[in-house]
Amino acid sequence: MKRYPHPLIAKEGWPYLFVMTGFSLLVTWAAGLVFAAPLWIVTLFVLQFFRDPAREIPENRDAVLSPADGRIVAVEKVKDPYLDRDSIKVSVFMNVFNVHSNRSPVDGEVMKIWYFPGKFVNADLDKASLENERNALWIRTGKGDVTCVQVAGLIARRILCYAKEGQQLSRGERYGFIRFGSRVDVYLPLESRILVGIGDKVHATESILAELK
């Protein structure tokens, strides 16, 4: 099933791409391609950073889908700091070459949203989950509660979340974006069946992190 109402280049990137393309064209016209080459390289980087390809949504309704592209850096039993419960945390680290569009891991209602200003330490470090700037969604499903947390990183300076309290999110639905390197933590019920391990590469929506029981 494919459900994707967004363009191939994320809407968040159009201002950056417009400015960089315009500046590159201007320098190319004024000074030549040799002098403009570094600017065109930056423009290509911006283009690849804000790419936002369509994704296939798995049919399994009990699946917890990856909310982001990247690499699994944590799978551990912890206390969910937002719902004050024992849980399993699965963390996805995004580097600057990953797609940074964030998508809902489950079907459910957004019960509450928390935003916390904070530090900008390397998002690959575990302490980033509680010390960095972050935005958390409490999503209630038919098989338990899921907490999905956008975490800013060393370079990331802007978390964008478009979800609202009371909103119904669908699996794979685009709800946010983090600019320039970051991480997403997913807190799951203890009885969830985890299907990924440390170091696994995952893709938003298409990769299954776990199954709710």
Task: Give me the residue spans of the domains in the chain.
Answer: 11-49, 63-211
pLDDT digit string, tens, across residues 8-28 = 788 888 888 899 999 999 999
pLDDT digit string, tens, across residues 132-160 = 788 999 999 999 999 999 988 665 557 88
Annotated catalytic residue: which of 91, 182, 192, 207? Answer: 182
Q: What is the CATH number of domain 63-211?
A: 2.70.70
Under a CB-based contact definition with an 8 Å cutoff, are residues 79 and 54 in contact?
A: no
pLDDT of residue 85: 96
| Sheet strands side by side (includes 174-178) | 101-103, 174-178, 159-161
Task: Examine the residue annotation and report whether 182 is marked as an active-site residue of this protein.
Answer: yes
pLDDT digit string, tens, across residues 178-197 = 876 688 999 999 999 999 99
**What are residue 176's DSSP bridge partners?**
102, 161
